[in-house]
Each structure stands twice: as C-alpha cells, then as structure tokens.
Amino acid sequence: MNVSDNIVHFYMKEHSNLFPTARILLLRGTFPNMVYRSERSQKQDLQPVMDAMLSQPESPIFAHLFSNSGAQQIGLLLRHWKDVTGGKKLPLQGMICDSTPAIGTFQRAFDGISYQIPSTPVLRIPGLALIYVFVSTQWMFEKVSGKPNVVSQFNGNLLDEGLIEKDVPRLYLYSREDLLVRGEDVEWHAEKAKEKGWRVEMLLFEGSGHCRHGKGEGEEKYWKAVERMISCGKR
C-alpha cells in the first residue's frame, strides 16, 4: 500500500532475473481501497489485469502478495474472476504471502490503516483520531450487519475453498519483528490453511521488519524459497 517505486522495481527486477520469460502483472494497493472506495470502482481498476489473464488462459499464474493491501487486492481479484468467468476459480499454481494476512480484530484493522499516517505530530495526531473514529464505526457496523471489515474479508478470502483450489500450495514469509502484521497472525492463518487441506510452507525470518525479508541478511533465503515455489507450483 502506497509503496515507493524503488521497492516495486526491486521486487520486479528480482522476479525478472529468476524468470526472464514471465509476464508480471502489478497490482498496487492504495489507502482509499482499504478505507472507503467502493468494490465496484476497484473491480473496474482490475479490468486490464483480467483482460491480460483471459487472453492467455493456458499461462500458469502465481500470486506474490505483500502486506494487508496485497491480500486485499488478491481477495478482490479472486472474487472478481469468479464473477466474470461464471463461477470458475482463478487458475493459480501457487501463492506467496509476504507479511500477510493479519487477523481481522479491531486493533489489527486500526494498526494496518494507521501505519500510513505521516509521523509529523501535526498530521499524525488528528489522522489517528479520524482513523479511530472510522474503524470504530466500521466495527460497530460489522457487529450489527454481520458484514466483515476489510481485514476479515481478505483473511477469509484466502481460506475460501470456493475461491482457491485445494491443490494450490502456499508459502508464508514472516518475522517476529514485524510491527504491522504480527508473526502469530500469519502462523494462525497458515495453520487454518493446513487444517483445510492446503499444502503450506512457513518461513520465519530473523531481524527483518514488515515486508523487508527479501532484502538484507535474509535475501538469499527469501529468493530461494520464491524460486522453489514458482518452479514447482501446483502438481
């Protein structure tokens, strides 16, 4: 969500080095998508991605998602694909979850959104107050209506057998030092996926923060795991 171009280019370059003939479809999450933009508007933004995948239905598809915003974008894509194709599941060959997903509690939803507020006190203090009011309102609406908040929704999407085939393997990359998406949240989700029958691998990194596992000390370990997942894929 709102990640810098330099970080995007780094990960795209690494993927291109490993798989030079692969086509990369980049979905960039935004703060409004997580907070107030309608699902209808967001699905319209996905149409170029949908067209690209539908134009080459035989091509294997791997999802590499980063943070809560990446999980939200993939969840939306999974649902939109099913709607557009008349109930078919996105033909994923594998899924890599980097620093995601969080559990849909009030605190996790608040942490995930407030992470984007600038640290300058004159902006952060009123920004946090507004986000607290917004998340509280959403939380109350969820309790009354039964409709899940955005974090609960994508958390559930990634555990939905109606959206993801059971033979699609998944790799969770995470750390204990992540202050945004906690390691125990990722482990909880991975265990739920195992219980439902998905083939799951968890890879814990030491000392790296949120979405920082692919650079620095753990870089070699990270990209070997990514290469292994994409090379093997669904079997």
Q: Which of 27, 30, 118, 127 is nearest to 80 (CA)?
A: 27
Q: Please say whether the beta carbons of 59 and 23 come within 8 A.
A: yes
Nearest Cα neighbor of 202 from 180, 179, 221 is: 221
Q: Is residue 225 part of a domain?
A: yes
Please calculate the CA angle 99-24-212 and round it to the nearest 5 degrees. Answer: 25
Q: How many domains does the chain have?
A: 1
The verdict on residue 134 lying in a domain is no
Q: Tokens for 125?
A: 């203090």
Q: Where are the beta strands (DSSP E) in the chain?
A: 61-66, 92-98, 170-175, 200-205
Whose CA is closest to 202, among 62, 117, 98, 55? 98
pLDDT digits (tens, 9 = 90+) for 120-161: 766 677 777 777 776 677 667 666 766 777 888 899 999 999
Summarised one tens digit per residue, pLDDT across range 168-178 is 999 999 999 99
* CATH at 186: 3.40.50.1820
Instruction: Count Cβ atoms below 10 Å from residue 53 Cβ, excluding itself.
Output: 17
pTM of this prediction?
A: 0.87
The whole-number pLDDT of residue 141 equals: 64
The dihedrals phi and psi of 92, each to the nearest 5 degrees, come to -70, 145
Supply the range of the domain harboring residue 74. 5-103+150-232
DSSP label at residue 17: H
Rounded to whole angstroms, how far apart are CA atoms 196 and 65?
21
Widest CA span of the chain, in angstroms?
54
Phi, psi (degrees; rounded to nearest 5) at 199? -80, 120
> Would residue 9 count as lying in a domain?
yes
Give residue 235's pLDDT: 64
pLDDT tens, the chain, 235 aa long: 878 899 999 999 999 999 999 999 999 888 788 878 889 999 999 999 999 999 988 889 999 999 999 999 999 999 999 999 999 999 999 999 999 998 866 666 666 666 667 667 666 777 777 777 766 776 676 667 667 778 888 999 999 999 999 999 999 999 999 988 999 999 999 999 999 999 999 999 999 999 999 998 899 999 999 999 999 887 6
pLDDT (0 to 100) of residue 145 = 67
In a domain, 209, yes or no: yes
| Number of Cα atoms under 13 Å in the Cβ half of residue 161 | 9
Say what the pLDDT of residue 234 is: 72
